Chain A
């Protein structure tokens, strides 16, 4: 069974703090990794994609990938109330076009002002 695991939360942080979201996956052959943000009642919106070990930064967001530990994380710096949402970790097992994404259940983030 190929699985993606996330802590469901809620994760509560004050405005301006760093939010750290974690995800582990079971298939060592996984190639592509994504973080989606989903507001209540809305569709998933891509935040970050990462394909190789290390860090990838985009604005206030940093994705970190460690394939040896089968671990991917998302850091949100200077958290804002508008960041309050559910964050979905998604893994593409073969890294090929047309391969389904396997999603975790999502971590709910709450940023208080």
Chain B
């Protein structure tokens, strides 16, 4: 596609529910990143994929967070047993090695946990 696509744009979950957030990167971009952005803060790194391989998950805040990219394209970020502190905007970005490591961001998913 023309840009990074994320869905849903908004998600409201009750505390304890599981949620799944989807990211469709720019076509041909092998690198895919997930970031979490709290209100008034800059994005913070969660995890990174190169094709289907998850090469860095050091930013995932707990074992309730899980990400996958099984076919090296679309990625899903799953949060189990959501907590209020999980409320944030989840941003997906993709990049290509020949592009100066420039990361292009999707519109994000705003998650609100009640």
Q: Is the CB of B45 within 8 A of A49?
A: no
Interface residues of B toward A: which range?
Answer: 20 to 34
Distance between Cα atoms of A101 and B44 in the complex (Å): 8
Stretch of B14-22, B76-84, B94-102 contacting A (4+ beta carbons < 8 Å) = B94-102
A contact residues, total (Cβ < 8 Å): 26
Q: Tell yes or no: B48 within 8 A of A by CB.
A: yes
Against A, the Cβ 8 Å flags (1 = close, 0 = not) of B97-114 are 100111111111000000
Residues of A within 8 A of B102 (CB): 34, 46, 49
Q: Tell yes or no: A98 within 8 A of B by CB.
A: yes
Distance between Cα atoms of A51 and B40 in the complex (Å): 27
Against B, the Cβ 8 Å flags (1 = close, 0 = not) of A10-54 are 000000000000000000000010101000001111100101000
Of residues 22 through 72 on chain B, the ones whose CB sits less than 8 Å from some CB of chain A are 31, 33, 35, 40-45, 48, 50, 55-56, 59
Q: Is the CB of A103 within 8 A of B31?
A: no
Residues of A within 8 A of B48 (CB): 98, 100
Residues of A within 8 A of B35 (CB): 101
Q: Is the CB of B50 within 8 A of A98?
A: yes
Q: Is the CB of A97 within 8 A of B31?
A: yes
**Contacts A49-B100, A100-B45 given; does A105 touch B40 at CB 8 Å:** yes
Known: A43-B91, A103-B42. 11 other contacts (CB 8 A): A32-B100, A34-B103, A43-B108, A45-B105, A49-B102, A92-B101, A97-B101, A98-B31, A104-B42, A105-B41, A105-B42
B residues sitting closer than 8 Å to A (CB atoms) are: 31, 33, 35, 40-45, 48, 50, 55-56, 59, 91, 95-97, 100-108
12 contacts between A and B (CB under 8 A): A4-B42, A44-B91, A96-B101, A98-B48, A100-B33, A100-B45, A101-B103, A103-B42, A103-B43, A104-B42, A105-B40, A105-B41
